[in-house]
Amino acid sequence: MTRYAAIVADPPWAADLGGTWTAKADKGRPQRFYPLMGLDAIKALPVESLAADQSHLWLWAVTQHVDTAFEVARAWGFQPVTMLTWCKPGLGVGQFQCNTEHIVVARRGSRHGNPFGMTGGTWFGWPRGRHSAKPDAFYDLVTRSSSGPFLELFARTKRLGWDVWGNEVDSDVQIEALA
C-alpha cells in the first residue's frame, strides 16, 4: 500500500458544525452540491494509515470551521504548523459575504527531514472556479512545497501525478467512510 507524503483534503463539513448553516437552500450552501459528513465521521477516516511517517496535510476549511479543521488534523495524526488563506475575488454569500477559505497546513513526524518548501506567503489571490473547486495554483503550491507521493481526499477530478479518493471520481485508494 502506498503511504503518502502529501495529503490534500477538503471535507464536506456538515451544516451542523457550529450551527451556522440552516437547511435553507441557496447558491452558497454546500449540501446543494454534494452529501455532507459529520465531524465524527470525518475524524474517523483512517487518514493516518495512508500517511507516510514523515508527511504533510493540507486541510481546507471555511472561516467558521477553522477550529474544527485543527481538531481534524490532530485526529488524523498531524500537528498543525500554519494556516494559509485564499482571498477569492469579489464578494461571497451570507451576512459577512465571506470571500476567503483557509488551509490548515500540518505535519506528521519530525520537522527534521520533513521540511516544507517556500510558499511565497500565507495568503493567495487565486481565481474562483466552480463551487468547491480549488485553483490549479494551489496544487502547484503543494507540489512545490511538499514531496510526493500525493493524495487528494474528497477529490472531484483526477489530477496527473496524484492519487485520489472521493465520490465524484474513480478512486485510486479504498477508504471506508462512516455515514
Specify the pLDDT at position 152: 97
162 forms beta bridges with 150
Global confidence as pTM: 0.87
DSSP 178: -
Question: In the structure, how many helices (H) and strands (E) does the chain have?
Answer: 4, 7
Return per-residue pLDDT of the chain as tens, 179 residues.
899 999 999 999 875 544 554 555 444 455 445 577 889 999 999 999 999 999 999 999 988 889 999 999 999 999 999 999 999 988 777 777 778 999 999 999 998 878 888 888 999 898 887 777 899 999 999 999 999 999 999 998 999 999 999 888 888 988 876 54
Please name the residues in contact with 111: beta carbons below 8 A apart, sequence gap of 6 or more: none
The domains of the chain are located at 4-165
Q: Which fold has domain 4-165?
A: Rossmann fold (3.40.50)
